[in-house]
Amino acid sequence: MTDERENFINALVDLDETKCIELLKQRVAAGEDPGIVLEDVRKATDIVGERFEDGRFFVSDLMMVGEILKQIMEILRPLFETGDMEDKGTIIIGTVGGDVHDIGKNIVTALLEAEGFTVIDLGIDVPPEAFVSAIKEHKPIVVGLSGLLTEAIESMKETIDAISAAGLRDQVKIIVGGGRTDLETMEYTGADAWSDNATSGVTTFRKLAGVE
């Protein structure tokens, strides 16, 4: 990894907003692949998540990271525009109950919107019944359950169980996502797919939605 990429990651982890955005603009001006930038954002957010779980970061720190992320996505989003803005369907996404991380979710949301999907973002710490209500109201083709904490996996399972209990499971595809998710998580929670990476996660959303 180049020094520029490491400096960018460190600036985001250190909550150095000015330096982070300055380095981002330099990378964009140099014509760097925005996908690589997103990969660096993911690496930084993994570190942030670890620090939060270790008690070195607090909710206020997560909120600061979220604010920096919004600026990052405002700069990167136009680079992902495809020009084909035909509505490809509705997707519901949210961070599951007990988890307040929204960094990865926000990245995925921005990319999905750039792809032409209508995204209903339920926010953070979303209880199972809120997902159930949103599915009934918006009738999405895919539901994304996000979480960064290890404890979020249990919340994901509870949410999918609630969707099943409401008789809605066969109406939607469900993807679980976050730094702690893997194939075992997918099987345990009863999801249809999983992703620990925003860019590959969007590809998975497309496949679940039947968009190739």
119 and 109 in contact (C-beta within 8 Å)? yes
- Residue 118 tokens, joined: 């209508």
What is the domain partition of the chain in residue ranges? 3-80, 90-208
3-80 folds as 1.10.1240
The DSSP 8-state label assigned to residue 12 in this structure reads H
Per-residue pLDDT of the chain (212 residues; tens, 9 = 90+): 788 899 999 999 999 999 999 999 999 999 999 888 988 987 887 788 788 778 898 878 878 888 898 899 889 888 876 555 567 899 999 999 999 888 788 888 888 887 789 999 999 999 999 999 999 999 999 999 999 888 899 999 999 999 999 999 999 999 999 888 999 999 999 999 999 877 788 889 999 999 86
Kindly report, residue by residue over 86-98, the tens digit of the pLDDT.
678 999 999 999 9
User: CA nearest 144: which of 121, 113, 115, 161?
Assistant: 121
Per-residue pLDDT of 22-46, as tens digits, reads: 999 999 999 999 888 988 987 887 7
Q: Which of 198, 208, 133 shows the shortest CA–CA distance to 175? A: 208
CATH number of 90-208: 3.40.50.280
Q: What percent of the chain has pLDDT over 70?
A: 97
